[in-house]
Amino acid sequence: MSTLLLGLGNPILSDDAVGVRLAADFARRLRDVPDLVVVPECSVGGLALLDVFEGYERAIVLDSVQATPASPGRWHRFDACALRESQHLTNIHDTNFATALELGRRLGIHLPDDSAIHIFAVEVADAVTFSDRMTAPLEAGYPIYSQQIFNEILGLLVTPAR
């Protein structure tokens, strides 16, 4: 079974880089896992993600989320079943992840099932400032939340996909 480990984000937008950094760190630690393909840096969205996910049986996505009020370093785990499709799609730029997946499947593209797309989203404080450094709170908590997420991913990798 092929599994994609994907780091979403922009490495020069402060905390938005957290998914990219996690994926790069985990790639080194998971280099001997068979059938695991790591794409440590991906900054596309919408329909462009179909090309990235095509052909995999399972995907693990590392990304950032900006919640209000922010709790930098707090993380959430969910699968693509939790995502809602766009209700009022007016143009291709409005295509969210769930809508892109549905369209891809209707077009016959081989994509992981929603239940096999595992998303880990870390809450961030600043995802818009140009910087190659994460904010102090996110950086300070990195050793803790990165190990917690890594442990969850290890559990996924030893569990066969459905």
**Per residue in 47-100, pLDDT tens?**
889 999 999 999 999 999 987 777 999 999 999 988 865 444 555 556 788 888
Confidence class of residue 147 from pLDDT cuts 50, 70 and 90? Answer: very high
What is the DSSP pairing of strand 75-79 with strand 117-123? antiparallel
DSSP bridge partners of 119 = 61, 78
What pLDDT does 119 receive? 96
What pLDDT does 58 receive? 96
**What single letter denotes the amino acid at residue 2?**
S
More confident residue, 161 or 153: 153
Reference 48, options 11, 6, 16; nearest CA is 6
What pLDDT does 146 receive? 98
What pLDDT does 95 receive? 77
**Virtual torsion, Cα 103, 106, 109, 110, nearest 10 deg:** 110
Write down the domain spans for the chain: 3-157
Confidence class of residue 162 from pLDDT cuts 50, 70 and 90? Answer: low
The CATH superfamily label for domain 3-157 reads: HybD-like (3.40.50.1450)
* Tens of pLDDT, residues 101-137: 999 999 999 999 999 999 999 999 999 999 999 999 9
Q: Report pTM.
A: 0.90
Res 161 pLDDT > 60: no
CA distance 22 to 41: 10
